[in-house]
Structure 1
Amino acid sequence: MDLHTYDPRELEPLLDDYLREAHAMGYETVRLIHGKGTGVLRSRVRLFLARHPLVRAAHDAPPALGSWGATVVHLASAQEAPRPKETADGKEGARGRGPLLHWKPLMIGLGIGMAVGAALLWLRR
């Protein structure tokens, strides 16, 4: 998951939803791309991962997969159930919303980006 485009204030609920969905789908490992820049995003990601109940280990990606610009996360086995997640209003999900709500802006942006890219490629011919 590429984290470059996300608002840092939304990072924790976004990562929590992503890790829980990946675990539910049976993934054992995921990769988070935070970039090499100043290291602020990397630090925030690593601090969050250190506290997450589904994370068994996290480390820099191998050179071919981004080196210190990405973090490889090893998740708990499928048999290990995550702790229940509730908000102050008792609803499941970040801020009482379903886990996939954070993906909607990403999917819209991805669709727009692909359309613009296709148009630019077509114009270059």
Structure 2
Amino acid sequence: MSSFKDLLNQENTLENEDVSFADAMRDIKPLTQDKIHFAKLNNKQNNARASIKNVEDRTADNKPLLNRPARFHFSDQYEPLIDEHSTLSFTKEGTQTYYTKLLRRGDIRPEVILDLHGYTKEQAKFDLAELIADCKAQHIACACVVHGVGGGILKKKIPHYLMQHPDVAAFHQAPLEWGGQGAILILVDLGEELEHKLLR
């Protein structure tokens, strides 16, 4: 078998000879294929795996998602009338209506973002309840929930879930810089503290 060095040395001696390429490569053996092809997961599968891992990482005892009690139970039966042709907006009864205006204009910046791409309804409900409870506990007034664009189930269901939660003061479709039609900005009801935070 010829080595690469031998072939280089042969090059000079073969310059004047009429040798075909096949003859010159006669002693060369093809390399054995050692490339490994891994199955590629689509983005939804990757995101779902990442979201499950993130939820498990947040728990001290790493209990599986279904074994942990949810902080709030959202109903899938509750479906308020939402005009799909108008901009998504909601203010809880007894809450200042100008809150949604502040959200629409981008005057309030979210301090935390929850990305629900690739989530199932159950995962989304669980993490949404966790988000609102964490915001309340940490005195975070505004959060951004990314559900994605298109006609997906979460885009329809997330507003229904938010309307059910007693700690959601208002929400509005996010401005373009925060996701536009693919996201919602929510204001968490912090009582009097919310008004003080918004006036700063």
TM-score normalised by structure 1 residue count: 0.59
How many residue pairs get aligned? The number is 80
Cα displacement string for residues 62-106 of structure 1 (whole angstroms, at most 9, x for unaligned residues): 1111111100000001668xxxxxxxxxxxxxxxxxxxxxxxxxx
Cross-structure match for 2:187:
74
Structure 2: 5+ residue stretches without partners: 1-113, 194-200
Cross-structure match for 1:12:
125
Cα displacement string for residues 38-59 of structure 1 (whole angstroms, at most 9, x for unaligned residues): 1421111100000001100011
> CA separation in 2, counterparts of 1:40 and 1:4?
11
> CA separation in 2, counterparts of 1:78 and 1:20?
14
Residue among 144, 150, 157 paired with 1:31: 144
Identity, % of aligned positions? 29
1:40 counterpart letter in structure 2: I
Listed as ranges, the matches of 1:73-112 within 5 Å are: 73-77=186-190
> CA separation in 2, counterparts of 1:11 and 1:34?
9
C-alpha deviation, 1:13, in angstroms: 2.0
Cα displacement string for residues 18-44 of structure 1 (whole angstroms, at most 9, x for unaligned residues): 110111111000000001121421111
- SS for the counterpart of 1:4 is coil
Cross-structure match for 1:65:
178
Structure 1: 5+ residue stretches without partners: 81-125
Cα displacement string for residues 91-124 of structure 1 (whole angstroms, at most 9, x for unaligned residues): xxxxxxxxxxxxxxxxxxxxxxxxxxxxxxxxxx
C-alpha deviation, 1:9, in angstroms: 2.1
TM-score normalised by structure 2 residue count: 0.38
1:18 counterpart letter in structure 2: L
RMSD: 1.7
Cross-structure match for 1:91:
none
- SS for the counterpart of 2:126 is helix
Q: Is it true that 1:53 corresponds to 2:53 in the alignment? A: no
Residue among 156, 159, 162 paired with 1:43: 156
1:64 counterpart letter in structure 2: E
> CA separation in 2, counterparts of 1:28 and 1:34?
20
> CA separation in 1, counterparts of 2:142 and 2:177?
16
> CA separation in 2, counterparts of 1:79 and 1:14?
26
Larger Rg: 2
Divergent runs of 4+, >3 A: none
Q: Residue 26 of structure 1 contacts residue 78 of structure 1 at CA under 8 Å; is this kept in 2?
A: no
Whichever structure has more helix as a proportion of its residues is 1
Q: Residue 24 of structure 1 contacts residue 78 of structure 1 at CA under 8 Å; is this kept in 2?
A: no
